[in-house]
Structure 1
Amino acid sequence: MNRFTTDELMSSRTGILILLGLTIAFLSINSAHSAWFERSLLSDNTVKDNIYTVKDVDRDEMFVIDDFIYDARQSCYLSIGDQVVFSEGRYGIDYRATIYDLNYREPCELLLRDPVS
């Protein structure tokens, strides 16, 4: 009976170690991808000229980015003063856009509402 318990304990330890290793690998791949994405995004000089600032936030649902109002399609967790760049769509032109928050290194999907009046 002791041998069965010891084998069972070793099996659960092995499972936990494998799970821990997979979790670490997943997290490192995500952070490496984020760093790669940011480097590739900012390597283009035209992108550096197109960095915009979040001017206002309303309950994580509405954002004023320079002179345009955007609605979140998901939770974005943007703060006033965050620097963003448009990775998909164009600033103030496309109805749907994806921005990349340079402060927190997170993408966010937005819908253009209208210009600030």
Structure 2
Amino acid sequence: MRPDVLFGAARRFAVLLASISAAVVVVALGLGALVGSAPDRSVSLGFYAAGAFLVLGGFVFGNRGPYRSADDGVALWRGRSLRRASADDVRTSINMSVLLVVLGLVLLALGVAVDSRYRLV
């Protein structure tokens, strides 16, 4: 791969990780203040919860079947029609699954690093 492509991908991943981390910190500090928890504990629990949610979402998203809905709308009273997933659909599912799992694992690692109950060294 070309270095400029890898650098662009790493930059986008870092921006996405920073955005998600900032949102988790803000929400966790707010919820922690409401329940009277220590800030480091609430942030670590926020990272744990967000990381677990993303890992689970990546697992579910990656295990989609080989068929996709052919209709854009929701068919409540009639049968829904299915189509075979294209190679682009499968590639998108795998890429999104990997992205979600990696983001989730990084957030879980951040939760371990922030958690004051355990020493890493």
State TM-score, norm by structure 1: 0.29
**Whose radius of gyration is greater, 1 or 2?**
1
Which structure features the higher share of strand residues?
1
State TM-score, norm by structure 2: 0.28
Which structure features the higher share of helix residues?
2
